[in-house]
A and B are shown apart, each in its own frame.
Chain A
Amino acid sequence: MLIYLPIAEVSVNIFVLLGLGGLVGMLSGIFGVGGGFLMTPILIMIGIPPAVAVATEANQIVASSFSGVLAHFKRKTVDIKMGLILMLGGLVGATLGVQIFKYLKSIGQVELLVTLSYVVFLGLVGSMMFVESLNAIRRAGKPGAKPKKKKHSWMHGLPFKTRFRTSGLYISVIPPIIIGVAVGILAAIMGVGGGFIMVPAMIYMLGMPTKVVVGTSLFQIIFVTAYTTLSHAMQNFTVDAILALLLIIGGVIGAQIGTRIGVKLKAEQLRILLAAMVLLMCGKLALDLLLVPSEIFSIGAGGE
């Protein structure tokens, strides 16, 4: 059954959209990532104009993250204080990111830089997580191995220290704010929630326990993507409500299922699965840049 999308101005099979939403929503629930890094390229592949795909995806991430975070709230696995601090940084970063995006667009290379940043960040994050989780699994195999003690790094010398009770951390607010800004910038440029960068950053850089990372990431993603959705709706008119609704319906259901699957998986398994997926998408995008395209011309909208 086909449905005509009013803003995207294309007709798409309704079940394809529901299915896509469900699949990506499930991943979102399992891993605590918004799923935008998968959904945005897929939407573009099925013929949605890139600008509409990016903006509408932000709207969908709001719904799936909200649905997911409610489940985490019930299990008390959201560090609200940390989430709010990350969010503050994220809003600043998203504002900067939108400006950078506009500038790149004016020099006509936005597509390349978006793809490149996808390849670089997905590649970095993916391989880091992959190696780390392989090591973790190997360590877990040996009964004599000692769990790593929390390291003291330069981060612990910074001022404005505060206690994050849920995470069991006593650290400066500066690193979370910097991470928030950085992820916010990337989120706006790449049209994603940024969870796939946020989650590893929280684990490896802030040293947060894995069980609160997913909920906290979802918590701050809601705010950053809501902000991005509004910006796109007001500045570019590219949020497609019908497309969003269909992705949301699939997505929220998928997220609920995903959250329940996530609880049953071990942290290491979770991480290695996410790493594999991130690397897969990275490889696909890298190939697009390297292989001879089947059509070397592309049509863009109107004059600048």
Chain B
Amino acid sequence: MFRIVFIAISIIASPLFAQETVVVDLSQNRIEITATYSGSNIFVFGAVKRDTPLPAGTGSLDVAIVIEGPLETVTVRKKEKKLGIWVNSDAVEIHRAPSFFTIATTRPLEEMLNEGDRRDYAIGLDYAVRPQPDAEDDIDANIESFAEAVVRIREDDGLYSQREGLVNLTDDILFEAGISLPANLVEGDYTARIYLVRDKNIVADAAVEITVRKAGLEAWLYDLSRENSLLYGLLSLLVALVAGYGASEIFRRLKR
């Protein structure tokens, strides 16, 4: 496996603990989805850098790692019983639903981080989907229940998860976490956000990009289906006819 050059990290230091910064890298910045792709493991590791020694009486350190897939717009439909059968009735477009969302932390999230920071930085499954209601929608009042449904359904699909206690922190300096990515990953630019937390407040953060791309045959087929759909369609038919003929011939010979 090739290690890609260390990516420069955006660092926003909190005013309170300006002397602490976080340095992070990933075991891989690029995930290639090939035909045999069946999920992968990404290893996030890093260290806390301090320019000055910590003042006495500072609380313990915690780390939260958020890996997020590309944001997409989805239509969420709600079924209702009408005339005895269940039919789709209300539909809401959710504009900022990440295709993938996972959080790994050193401790249970609510215990280690304040609510305001959790909301502002979207740390937690409850903040994974941030609905931006349309002005025209009359059903904005219960848009929350639609956003919650996205989280619930994707949690069941293994796309959203919260893994408390997965991050190992050593001597308040080194941390690491092995985060598994599911097989039903979609292409796009993913981000890994890393937050240092002290006394329930974020003191430093960093972000690293992860590129997920189809590769090899997968990429070739996908591109062909989009760029030359007629050829792709004809090719699919040809394969079907050849396979049909081939099977018929093989069985005819076998019978003799």
Indicate whether A and B interact: yes
Binding site for B on A (CB under 8 A): 1-4, 6-7, 9-11, 47, 59-60, 62-68, 70-71, 108-109, 111-112, 226, 229-230, 232-234, 237, 239, 241-242, 244-245, 248-249, 252-253, 255-256, 288-293, 295-304
Also in contact, A299 and B38, with CB within 8 A (given A60-B240, A62-B241, A252-B243): no
A295 to B157, CA, bound (A): 13
User: Contact check: which of B73, B183, B246 meets A10 at CB < 8 Å?
Assistant: B183
Contact B239 A248 (CB under 8 A): yes
What residues on B are CB-neighbors of A233 within 8 Å?
A: 225, 229-230, 232-233, 236
Also in contact, A66 and B38, with CB within 8 A (given A233-B229, A239-B233, A290-B85): no
Kindly report which residue of chain B lies nearest to residue A245, judged by CB atoms.
B239
Also in contact, A2 and B75, with CB within 8 A (given A230-B237, A233-B225, A237-B229): no
Shortest C-beta distance, B230 to chain A (Å), equals 6
**Counting chain A CB atoms within 10 Å of each CB, which of B38, B230, B239, B240 scores highest?**
B240
Shortest C-beta distance, B70 to chain A (Å), equals 12
User: Contact check: which of B222, B237, B248 meets A59 at CB < 8 Å?
Assistant: B237
Contact B75 A303 (CB under 8 A): yes
Binding site for A on B (CB under 8 A): 33-39, 72-81, 84-88, 91, 93, 146, 149-150, 152-154, 183-184, 186-187, 214, 217-219, 221-222, 225-226, 229-230, 232-237, 239-241, 243-248, 251
Q: What are 7 inter-chain pairs, A to B, with CB distance below 8 A?
A: A6-B218, A66-B241, A233-B230, A242-B35, A252-B246, A297-B76, A298-B153
What residues on B are CB-neighbors of A229 within 8 Å?
A: 233, 236-237, 240
A24 to B152, CA, bound (A): 33
A204 to B84, CA, bound (A): 33
User: Contact check: which of B76, B87, B153 meets A109 at CB < 8 Å?
Assistant: B87
Contact A6 B221 (CB under 8 A): yes
Shortest C-beta distance, A19 to chain B (Å), equals 16
Contact A4 B218 (CB under 8 A): yes
Q: How many A-B contacts are there with CB distance less than 8 Å? A: 189
Contact B244 A230 (CB under 8 A): no
What residues on A are CB-neighbors of B235 within 8 Å?
A: 241
Also in contact, A303 and B93, with CB within 8 A (given A229-B233, A290-B85): yes
Contact B76 A298 (CB under 8 A): yes
**Counting chain B CB atoms within 10 Å of each CB, which of A70, A71, A245 scores highest?**
A70
User: Contact check: which of B79, B237, B246 meets A298 at CB < 8 Å?
Assistant: B79
Also in contact, A4 and B247, with CB within 8 A (given A233-B236, A241-B235): no
Extra 8 A-B pairs, beta carbons < 8 Å, given A6-B35, A6-B218, A239-B225:
A108-B77, A229-B240, A232-B233, A234-B229, A292-B86, A297-B152, A297-B153, A299-B74
Contact A296 B78 (CB under 8 A): yes
Kindly report which residue of chain A lies nearest to residue B239, judged by CB atoms.
A245
Also in contact, A11 and B251, with CB within 8 A (given A66-B241, A299-B76, A300-B74): no
Also in contact, A66 and B240, with CB within 8 A (given A71-B248, A289-B86): yes
What residues on B are CB-neighbors of A108 within 8 Å?
A: 77, 88, 91
